[in-house]
Amino acid sequence: MNNTHTLATNSNLGGWLSGFLGVLIFSGSLPATRVAVADFDPTFLTLARASIAGLLAAAILILLRQKLPARKDLIPLLVVAGGVVVGFPLLTALALKHVNSAHAIVFVGLLPLATALFGVIRAGEQPRPAFWICSLLGSAVVAGFALSQSGAGNFTGDLLMLAAVAVCGLGYAEGGRIARHLGSWQVICWVLVLSLPLMLPLAWYTQPATFTGASWPAWISLGYVSLFSMLIGFFFWYHGLATGGIAAVGQLQLLQPFFGLALAGLLLHEQISPLMAGATVAVVLCVAGAKRFAR
């Protein structure tokens, strides 16, 4: 009995650590996208990052001789693809044409709540009422803090970010659910490969006539969102959701805006408020509370 409890505790802790690494990697996505869309069209950027990651994913699956997913997993994989490969990257890239990355992070603060809701709907998880209080408080802290940093928004940009949060929350929850039997890195690799027949030809068709105007920072940002945001980050993230619980580990996303804001300030010289430290402490307490009452 004790051995079983110890194994479960270790698995839960491993899930949280894995999820934390995923969040760290994802934190660079919005600042990198903000840099990339300065030189690349948002639609091309979305298609290119998915195509590059898809080719790498295909190579990984072939080298490691992975079996084809079961027929029952095809629809869920397509749902994940619609959320994290197409929906979130495209909608955020379009939104960042209207708002800066600091303002977009206001909405990223709602992702943990969206992920938890879809975790209940799709994976049958049943967090305690206190969990929802912690999750709502954490989302409120993140949204309020980020809004104070970014100023007024733009209706079109805000609407696009809300849509991005909805489809991404579904993609995260669905991916975490099927990762429990398919495997974390296998999920994102198959999702990218299933998307490749559509994304690669469209990326070729929408490419600019010349790349001579693209700066090195834009190319580096494209590389980051392709390799890390679209592929490697999900290795850790889906493992965390699958082993630590979708609703619980999903709350780690509350920390992502603060990492993202720090990067936005460091790399893009966007203004960061001194209130960041206090807000971060409040969010950490909310995440700890959510973990405590998740099950």
Question: Rounded to an integer, what distance in angstroms lies between the CA atom of residue 32 and that of residue 178?
Answer: 29
Q: What is the pTM of this model?
A: 0.83
Residue 11's alpha-carbon distances to 89, 114, 241, 289, in angstroms, are: 31, 24, 11, 19
Q: How many other β-carbons are positioned within 10 Å of the β-carbon of residue 127?
A: 21
Within-domain flag for 150: yes
Within-domain flag for 14: no
Residue ranges of the chain with pLDDT lower than 50?
1, 4-5, 7
Within-domain flag for 12: no
In the prediction, which pLDDT does 159 show?
87
Question: Rounded to an integer, what distance in angstroms lies between the CA atom of residue 203 and that of residue 35?
Answer: 19
**Look-up: residue for tokens 């990198």?**
32
Within-domain flag for 219: yes
Within-domain flag for 187: yes
Within-domain flag for 185: yes
Contact 142, 257 (CB under 8 A): yes
pLDDT, one tens digit per residue, over 190-212 is 999 999 999 999 999 999 888 88
Segments forming the whole domain that contains residue 29:
23-292
Helix (H, G, I), strand (E, B) or coil at 166: helix
Count up the domains in the chain and report the number: 1
pLDDT, one tens digit per residue, over 49-71 is 999 999 999 999 999 999 999 99
Question: Rounded to an integer, what distance in angstroms lies between the CA atom of residue 279 and that of residue 272?
Answer: 12
